[in-house]
Amino acid sequence: MALIQAEVDLSNQSLGRIGGKQFTLADQSGFPAEQANLHFDQTRDSLLRSYEWSFATTRIQLLQGWDSDIDFTTDMYVFEDDVLYKCNTPHTSSSDFSTDIANWTDRSDDQTSFGNYIDLPADWLRVKEYVDDDNTDWSIEGKQILTPDTEVELVYVKKEDDTTEWESTFTDAFIVKLALNLLNPLSGSGPDALNLRQILLREFRLLVGEAKTTDRQEDNSTGNSYWHKSRFGGQWRTDIGRNK
């Protein structure tokens, strides 16, 4: 898929850092453009997954009991009569599940003696917090959460592909990281390229450190804070993987 204009502009800034030939939105056929297209999404997602970025954080009531007049998305699950269902059509629920059931797919095959296998949201990159009132064990297996809970609220870092939503220091770090990923295919591994790589790596580490510091200063809502407990009445978990 071709890059959009904002992504072309960022790619050209990266190419400029390594002396690569720049390209336009209309012509993305050259080797530098092909490499930018190849590496852009992977570089973005890798950097997003590396930290709990506030600007890319969202939350979802991933699993709950069914009720009327709720806006459901295709990432969401419900329990109805002890059966697990996943939403197959975005909709606002009707007054009765029997009339709403066409919007749901029976996922009872994902109910096991160990718990329920719940697909992570389609735009998930990293679990930030798992809301758990009962202190139960849960784990991530592949792209699913295995949990015995019948209600799951998830806070996670999403795949934020709208570059206008990026924090400015994150954008600066992304430009350098993309330049690093483009350096080898475009410039090889000679002495000049190796020297440039070391320069870019030092700059990248400084930029990432600055971005994370800014992010932490603007987000004081992590951990088991009184704010969390008073708002949700539960205990927050911040580890990725098995919760003990």
Residues 6 or more apart whose Cβ sits within 8 Å of residue 126: 48, 49, 52, 156, 157, 240
Percentage of the chain lying above the pLDDT 90 cut: 80
DSSP for 45-72, please give it.
HHHHHTS--GGGEEEEEEEEE--SS-EE
Please give the torsion angle defined by the CA atoms of residues 222, 58, 120 and 227, in that order, rounded to the nearest 10 degrees: 30
Percentage of the chain lying above the pLDDT 70 cut: 88
235 pLDDT above the threshold of 80: no
In tens, the pLDDT along 167-223 reads 999 999 999 999 999 999 998 888 999 999 999 999 999 999 999 988 888 765 544
Long-range contacts of 192-197 (CB under 8 A, 24+ apart): 196/18
> Can you tell me the distance from the alpha carbon of 242 to that of 38, in angstroms, rounded to the nearest whole number?
33
pLDDT at 167: 93
φ, ψ of residue 63 in degrees (nearest 5)? -140, 135
Burial bucket for residue 192 (CB in 10 Å: 0-12, 13-18, 19+): exposed
pLDDT at 217: 81
Beta strands 57-65 and 77-80 are parallel
Task: Name the H helices within the chain.
Answer: 5-17, 31-49, 97-100, 168-187, 191-217, 226-232
Tokens of 220: 């004081």
Burial bucket for residue 1 (CB in 10 Å: 0-12, 13-18, 19+): exposed
Helix or strand (DSSP H, E) at 158? strand 152-158
For residue 15, give the nearest of 211, 168, 200 by alpha carbon: 200
In tens, the pLDDT along 123-142 reads 999 999 998 767 678 999 99
Query: At 102, is the secondary structure helix, strand, or coil?
Result: helix
pTM: 0.84
Give the lowest-confidence range in 52-56, 199-203, 237-241.
237-241
> Can you tell me the distance from the alpha carbon of 236 to that of 188, in angstroms, rounded to the nearest whole number?
47
In tens, the pLDDT along 68-92 reads 999 999 999 999 999 999 999 999 9
